[in-house]
A and B are shown apart, each in its own frame.
Chain A
Amino acid sequence: MSDSKISVKKLHLFYKDFQALNGIDIEVRPQHITALIGPSGCGKSTFLRSLNRMNDLIEGVRIEGTILLEGSDIYSSAVDMVALRKRVGMVFQRPNPFLMSVYDNVAYGPRIHGEKNKRKLDEIVETSLRGAALWDEVRDRLHKSALGLSGGQQQRVCIARLLAVQPDVLLMDEPSSALDPKSTMKIEELIRDLKQRYTIIIVTHNMQQAARISDTTAFFLNGTLVECNETELIFTKPGDQRTEDYITGRFG
């Protein structure tokens, strides 16, 4: 499985006494979109957040098993967290641009990672905003607060802010669940575009969304990975009864 971008083996995650993930094994292919689906509380967001070690911020979380990013263990003690999070970026459920201008939001990452050159920053901001399909909408208001934008635009600012640090892997935690249908469509279009350059793992509540945009779908239930396969297969010929029950709406 050397062609995997991320390879997870026997991942167990405990939150104090509660076991939130139970022996997850999954291979994530590069330049693919992998969708994680499952009912609320099934562990899909927790799993996503263990891929860039965001769970480390929560007290009482313990992890067993290995997560390899291009072959190297991201939970080994030698890992530089700053470098890891630069490579594995994250988009959150609710748009969360900082209380700064659009420009400063996007330039935040490059700046903290040491870029000072004004012209270089201008360039990064423009490319990133173009990459997030937002440039034309905000080019005239780069220096106004990002919080004045619509929800969908704010989410794309967050994606641009992420692209600006040049990550490899994009983790998306229900990125369009707080948005209206039109903004959702724009975000989905964008995600499909981004696939050419990034490995994307997206958690979604919306099964149509998973079916529309992903190449691979993984179905989580009660902290276990029930099934992971080509999206088409999952939605037409699921291999497990529970998957079929879930995607046909019998529970969830």
Chain B
Amino acid sequence: MKITSDTTGRVLSTGAALVTILLTLAIIVFIATKGLSTFIINGVPVKDFLFSTNWFPDRPLEEGGPQVGVLAFMLGSIIVSLLAVLVSAPLSVACAVFIREIAPFWGQRVLQPAIEILAGIPSVVYGYIGLSLLVPFIREHLGGLGFSVLAGFLVLSVMILPTIVSMSVDSLRALPQEWKEAAYALGSTRWQTIRIVLLPAARSGIITGVVLGLARAFGEALAVQMVIGNTRKIPGSILDPVITLTSAITMDMGNTPMGSLWSNSLWSMGLLLLFISCLFILVVRFVVQRSEMSQ
């Protein structure tokens, strides 16, 4: 049999696809076995794990034994990411509208490249800037320690901006030019065209961008950990320190003996993160599918 370049190509790409699938499966299986051992081997009830704020992974038996409740971490993640999206989404959509509709010349030559640079900055740099500028600023002008929910979601909101902007720009670009013309021909102003015709028509792309931004915020560990103070309590205000699932994992992972409850519960938190990001992906799929159906 002669091996043509066609079959070589097919073997190579099928092979690469298989490797990717296998890797994903291996990661999921690994995290699942590690993560589930908290519940199976250590016998922690799932309810206690998810809905308790008591985090004493190495408390001796005479004081009541270890407890691993991650509610504070989970709430921390949710609060910080949601607030980041709340700040970033309107800003990003406004940027996208500016780039596509208001000033395409400046938008595409200056603003868009600037936003792309934001996407390329390593998260440790974001954390470092947050730590040396934002944290002292908050401490001096708003009070508290400076390490806070506020610092966390502000840093995150800048980090997820490029994701939401680029998805929104793409979905605005995909709209037929004829809609804009039709809107103007009916006597619409530019603002009416954008607000009533273009943005609603682009909403599925924008929502996808927002969910992807939320997922990114949820999964970000380093930059957040550097500015939020990492106190294992549910914050009472945005000036209080907070802890997230990701920062709790990165802080503790070096200090725990393999196979201990402590180590296992960190894996369970990893599993929880994996589960939540799958949920985000499902939401995105759902939104995209529904918009395809309506067209």
Contacts and interface: CB of A to CB of B under 8 A. Distances in A.
> Does B associate with A?
yes
Interface of A: 52, 54, 57, 81-86, 89-90, 92, 94, 96, 98-100, 108-109, 111-113, 145, 147, 158, 161-162, 165
* Chain A facing B: main interface SS: helix
B149 to A, nearest CB: 38
Contacts of B192: 112
A148 B168 CA distance: 25
Interface string B180-197: 011111111100100011
Interface in B130-153: none
Nearest to A97: B182
Given A98-B197, A112-B196, A145-B294, A85 B185 contact: yes
B184 A100 contact: no
A147 to B, nearest CB: 6
12 contacts: A57-B184, A82-B187, A85-B186, A85-B187, A92-B185, A98-B179, A99-B179, A112-B188, A147-B294, A161-B182, A162-B186, A165-B187
Given A82-B189, A89-B186, A112-B192, A96 B179 contact: yes
A99 B185 contact: no
Nearest to B188: A112
* Chain B facing A: main interface SS: helix
Nearest to A145: B294
B196 A54 contact: no
A98 B200 CA distance: 10
B178 interface: yes
A111 B196 CA distance: 10
A112 B187 contact: yes
Contact of A109 (B181, B186, B294): B186
Contacts, number: 68
Contacts of B4: none
A108 B197 CA distance: 9
Contacts of A145: 294-295
Contacts of B188: 82, 112
Contact of B185 (A83, A90, A98): A90
B185 A52 contact: yes
Contacts of B178: 92, 94, 96
B201 interface: yes
B200 to A, nearest CB: 7
Contacts of B197: 98, 108
A96 B176 contact: yes
Contacts of A98: 179, 182-183, 197, 201
B186 A54 contact: no
B187 A92 contact: no
A172 to B, nearest CB: 11
Contacts of A86: 186-187
**What are the 10 A-B residue pairs with the smallest beta carbon separation, nearest first?**
A96-B178, A90-B185, A85-B187, A99-B201, A86-B187, A82-B187, A109-B186, A96-B182, A112-B192, A98-B197
Given A109-B187, A112-B188, 17 more contacts: A54-B184, A57-B181, A82-B189, A94-B178, A96-B181, A98-B182, A98-B197, A99-B179, A99-B295, A108-B183, A109-B186, A111-B196, A112-B187, A112-B192, A145-B295, A162-B186, A165-B186
